[in-house]
Structure 1
Amino acid sequence: MLLERPSDDTLYAALLARDAAYDGYAYVAVRTTGIFCRLTCPARKPKRAHVIFFETTAECLEAGFRPCLRCRPLSTGREPEPAVSALIDLLEQEPERRWGERDLIERGYDPSTVRRQFKRRFGVSFLELARLRRLGQAAETLTAGTSVIDAQLDAGYESGSGFRAAITRLFGAAPKHLRTRDLLKADWIDTPIGPMLAIADRLALHLLEFADRPALPAEIRKIQENTRSAIAIGRCAPIDQIATELDSYFAGQTARFDTRLAAHGTPFQRSVWERLRAMAPGETLSYGALARDLGRPAAIRAIAQANGANQIAIVIPCHRIIGADGSLTGYGGGLWRKRWLLRHENRMNSRASEGGTSHEPDRESPELRQPA
């Protein structure tokens, strides 16, 4: 539900209306001009037949479109708006609270502005995020053995059928079945090259992917099937740890990750991932070289498949695999991110070899994100 994209007809209607609720939810590219824009761009609106919609700016760039100079779709700050940070803090303090627009108004917030900011950042409104958080709390109480009716009332649902439908739709199981299942937590982590989704249990990290990765919904379903677990919005120790380690990585301080990883994959896939983790930051290998390192020179295709099956981005650094001719090969997070990460790690190496002490994060201009 969190990852569904509106239909193209809905997005085109939002474009014509300059509906701020969809700003950042998708981007429009105009075939006749070769330019892509935000849906709120003030420029003259193109005809329906001349546009194509993308979910991310990376997809627009990779398709060969240029960013609009009026609405500047690439200029998205890393820091959230003050209202977003403040409301997220309030939500974590009272995850069981039933928030409404009146609560926002009483705290001096404009509901439409809050809705737009949360839609842009998370893909859902604040009130929807609060509802999901409340359902997450209910799922936690169910897995701890609480009765369904008590969990329903704690979540603020007067209707039992409505509560059962909401739980089933969000977690893939009816409330009574959640009482026998483990619970995974999922949360967003901001990075300079886009938000990432982390999923973990109380012991290990199961997934770390860029939120705009096309395969992400399938990966989430696979985790649920393999672990027989429900997923709730929230944080646990491994997510807190990997968020801290990613901050250090993007600040150029260290490329070491100590967060415990869940043991997914076949024995062969895990051997490929272990070799990737043994690589030095900025070091690159081709599929053929990696196959020879593992003593399986004929297993190039299997190694490529293992690389594609990796669902722990950056920590298992599949971005360090390049073509035999030195060119950049496919990357689930987008080739522009792959290039960004390799340049970032090369700069980290340069500072280390020079004995520098600067820990300033890389401030690459948007132009450097565009594919060559």
Structure 2
Amino acid sequence: MIFDLPDHATLYEALCNRDTSYEGRAWVGVTSTGIFCRLDCPARNPKPENCQFYGSIGECIDAGFRACKRCKPMAPYAEGDPVIAKLLSELEARPSYRFSEDDVAKLGIDPSTARRAFKRQFGMTFLEMARQRRLREGFTTLAKGGPVIEAQLDAGFDSPSAFRTAFAKLMGQSPQSFAKDALLRADWIDTPLGPMVAVCDKSSLHLLEFIDRKALPGSLKKLKAYAKGSLGIGTFPIHETLRAQLGAFFAGGSSLFDIPLTLHGSEFTQLVWRRLLNIGAGQTETYGALAKDLGRPSATRAVARANGANQIALIIPCHRVIGADGSLTGYGGGLWRKQRLIELERDYQKDSAA
């Protein structure tokens, strides 16, 4: 669990000292290179602001990082399980290849055995690991202004139609449908809880969602309609500000977000979202209490629907709303993320009290 780890400063000191006591307990993802390493990696130390620390290899992979070729952080798992060893070797040899269960079977490995082994060690299947690695490369190429064919090849897709299908499943539309020099631009941001998509214009944030949220494709289509088709892949300076503030939040440095927001919703929905902004880090409120505070004590369900329609995760803290019995209830990003966010923010509450 990432929140059982020491604070960012302690882990960075351990990284600089190449402390072997964290072997198997902590890993570092370096945002400037997209690589994750052991803390005793012999490579040159990255800057502290470029480091994100994780409590498992699965979390590193979920956040979009690739394994370091110098310290080989996945080697102990490979050495202990011949199934993992063989498949990781294949992935290393053919990182852009589109693996299938038939490919796994041709290697003499039962696909169900492979799924269980990878899920147990990394929190994802081998096919999910390979697919995410390929799609991230394609997204990065498009964000830098590269042509679709280059993104397709970087993502390891031989077929343009296959790349379009995979990309559309992730983003709700084909890569060609995103505009050049668009008014709204989508960027990929890695976090300890998995990659997110952030859509901004030159001055404000319109959407911040986890990549795997089912509502993401529909939300992007609505934003495209709002911008009259002017939705593209790329960045504005505000994306980098957001990236830095998310990094500080997850590192335990600050729970403050001062990114300007543009809200897309009905008058009542926006009223609920603005009320959510008043719930401090480390605090929780119930749907009923929110409805009562808004002067609509009988509108608990409407408040819950507005909460679920939130398109700006973390910053508009819908994860801080719980059921009347104290249960976590639903969360579009997954209950496991809601749990971890609440756990993380308890430290901010303790600091505030101190």
**Which residue of structure 2 aligns with residue 248 of structure 1?**
248
CA distance in 1, matches of 2:245, 2:136: 28
Alpha-carbon distance between aligned partners in 2 of 1:287 and 1:259, rounded to the nearest angstrom: 26
Letter in structure 2 aligned against 1:290? L
TM-score scaled by length of structure 1 = 0.55
The aligned runs of 1:51-62 (5 Å cut-off) are: none
- Return the alpha-carbon distance in structure 2 between the equivalents of residues 353 and 27 of structure 1: 52
Distance change (3 Å), C-alpha of 1:120 and 1:324: same
Query: Contact conserved, 1:205 with 1:262, CA < 8 A, in 2?
Result: yes
- 1:208 pairs with 2:219: no
Counterparts in 2 of 1:74 and 1:46: CA distance versus 1, 3 Å:
closer
1:72 aligned to 107, 121, 127, which one?
A: 121
Alignment partner, residue 184 of structure 2: 184
1:285–1:321: 8 Å Cα contact kept in structure 2?
Answer: yes
After superposition, the Cα gap between the structure-2 partners of 1:278 and 1:22, relative to the gap in structure 1 and judged at 3 Å, is farther
Instruction: Give the drift of 1:238.
Output: 2.0
Question: For 2:222 and 2:185, how far apart are their aligned partners in 1?
Answer: 15
Find the partner of 1:45 among 105, 111, 114.
111
CA distance in 1, matches of 2:100, 2:351: 37
1:296-333 Cα distance to aligned partner (Å, 9 max, x none): 11111111111111100000000001010001110000
- Could you say which residue in structure 2 is the equivalent of 1:226? 226
Residue equivalent to 2:320? 320
Letter in 1 for 2:284: T
Q: 2:142 aligns with which of 126, 132, 150?
A: 132
Measured in 2, the distance between the counterparts of 1:276 and 1:27 equals 43
Aligned partner of 2:153 in structure 1 is none
How far apart are 1:71 and its partner, in Å?
6.2
> How large is the RMSD of aligned CA atoms in angstroms?
4.2
* Cα distance in 2, alignment partners of residues 342 and 130 from structure 1: 31
Counterpart AA for 1:253: G
What amino acid sits opposite 2:317 in the alignment? Answer: P
Q: Name structure 1 gaps, 5 residues minimum.
A: 1-14, 29-37, 54-66, 77-115, 140-161, 355-372
Residue pairs, 1:12-27, within 5 angstroms: 18=87, 20=91
Aligned position for 2:15: none
d(CA) in 1 for partners of 2:108, 2:274: 49
1:137–1:22 distance in 2 versus 1, CA, 3 Å: closer
Per-residue deviation at 1:353? 2.6
- Is the Cα–Cα contact under 8 Å of residues 142 and 234 in structure 2 kept in the other structure? no
Distance 1:324 1:170 in 2: 43
* Percent pairwise identity: 39
Question: Number of residues paired by the alignment?
Answer: 241
TM-score of the two chains, using structure 2 as the length reference: 0.57
In the alignment, which residue of structure 2 is the partner of 1:341? 341
Instruction: Provide the C-alpha distance between the structure 1 equivalents of 2:95 and 2:279, rounded to a whole number of angstroms.
Output: 41
CA offset at residue 123 of structure 1? 4.4
| Distance (whole Å) between structure 2 residues aligned to residue 70 and residue 335 of structure 1 | 18
The verdict on how the C-alpha distance between 1:118 and 1:323 changes in structure 2, with shifts beyond 3 A counting, is closer
Q: Deviations over 1:227-258 (max 9, x none)?
A: 21333221112211111111111111221111
Residues of 1 paired with 2:265 and 2:348: CA distance? 31
Q: CA deviation at 1:43?
A: 6.5
Residues 238/294 of structure 1: CA separation in 2 closer, same or farther (3 Å cut): same
Residue 282 of structure 1 corresponds to 282
SS state at 2:206 partner: strand
**One-letter amino acid of the structure 2 residue matched with residue 282 of structure 1:** G
Instruction: State the Cα distance separating 1:130 from its structure 2 match.
Output: 6.4
The alpha carbon displacement at 1:183 in A equals: 2.9
**Which structure has the larger Rg?**
1
Q: Does 1:261 align with 2:261?
A: yes
CA distance in structure 2 between the partners assigned to 1:248 and 1:70 by the alignment:
29
Structure 2 contact 197–209 (Cα < 8 Å) conserved: yes
- Distance in 2 (alpha carbons) for counterparts of 1:129 and 1:255: 28
How many angstroms apart in 2 are the aligned matches of 1:223 and 1:201?
11
Which residue number in structure 1 is paired with residue 10 of structure 2?
A: none
Aligned to 2:30: none
Question: 1:263: how far off?
Answer: 2.8
Q: How far apart, CA to CA, are the structure 2 residues paired with 1:42 and 1:341?
A: 41
Write the deviation string for residues 198-243 of structure 1: whole angstroms up to 9, x where unpaired: 1111111111011111111111111111221333221112211111
Change (3 A) 1:125 1:262: closer
Contact 1:209-1:312 within 8 A present in 2 as well: yes
C-alpha distance in structure 2 between counterparts of 1:241 and 1:286, whole Å: 31
| Alpha-carbon spacing, 1:283–1:243, altered in 2? closer, same or farther (3 Å) | same
SS of residue in 2 equivalent to 1:124? helix
